[in-house]
Amino acid sequence: MRNLQGRLDLCSINTATLGHREPLSRTIDRIARAGFGAIAPWRHEAENADIAQIARQIKALGLTVSGYCRSTYLPAATQAQFTANIEANKAALRDAATLGARCFVMVVGGLPEGSRDLHAARTQVTDGIAQLLGTARECGVPLALEPLHPMYAADRAVLNTLAQALEICEAVDPGCSGFLGVAIDAYHCWWDPDLYASIESAGRTGRILAYHACDWLRETRDLLLDRGMMGDGVIDLPALRGGVERAGYEGPIEVEIFSKENWWRRDPDEVLQVCAQRLQTIC
């Protein structure tokens, strides 16, 4: 496992960690000034700015883009809406290419409004990924399927385990072209009894595209907006990163924390300082 002590260049900050409280250009400056090597911006931030200028700023400051967050949800109640969702993701992939992103993070979406058909939603996800793979190749930006904790199956992601994500990868992209893989997020995957077997499988097929670090608080107050800072919760983060890196992952360790009542209320530079300390001592 890589030693992160003194190696913030191996680490990335997902901009959600700072709560989207400032213009993206200012957030980029903060992250670079704090010594991190990479950044993961969110679409609503980038799309409200000049994408080309943001790309130039990131490059000028010596940062790379560990991932671009996130996809438009895929499942839809009508064919017209499904097609619109595909087109929105194609446009986002082109922006990801402009930013030089290592991957485009796919949070696939939950059940369409009024639906109880989980199988149909998952089928739409597989079909949608298949339709996006060609654009990913054209843009040079891999699709990173991110399984979310099962509590989000209804509204955010019908893709809930790493094994499910790998099944889609093999169905859509047998043999691994290099443009379809997985993002492993500690918050969403830590509970999975088959996690380490799935990580090994993902490594054998070269599909690990991103790793996201945070923690699960024992007394979580909000299942979306109360993630823990690394070391404040129950996840064995060294073991998890060790498994991911033994499987062959050599990319940035990306911090992604949603914390409305705690970290998003703190000074951004303080948050970055704590992230840096925990990455080097806890993760």
The per-residue pLDDT string of the chain (283 residues; one tens digit each, 9 = 90 and over) reads: 999 999 999 999 999 999 999 999 999 999 999 999 999 999 999 999 999 999 999 999 999 999 999 999 999 999 999 999 999 999 999 999 999 999 999 999 999 999 999 999 999 999 999 999 999 999 999 999 999 999 999 999 999 999 999 999 999 999 999 999 999 999 999 999 999 999 999 999 999 999 999 999 999 999 999 999 999 999 999 999 999 999 999 999 999 999 999 999 999 999 999 999 999 999 9
Whether 69 contacts 14, CB under 8 Å:
yes
pLDDT score at 170: 98
Paired residues of 253 in beta bridges = 11, 211
What is the rounded CA–CA span in Å between residue 46 and residue 54?
A: 7
Model confidence pTM above 0.95: yes
pLDDT score at 219: 94
Strands 104-106 and 180-185: unpaired
H or E segment at 38? strand 38-40
pLDDT score at 120: 98
- Domains present along the chain, CATH in parentheses: 8-281 (3.20.20.150)
pLDDT score at 200: 98
Give the DSSP letter of residue 148: -
Residue carrying the six token digits 């200012």: 26
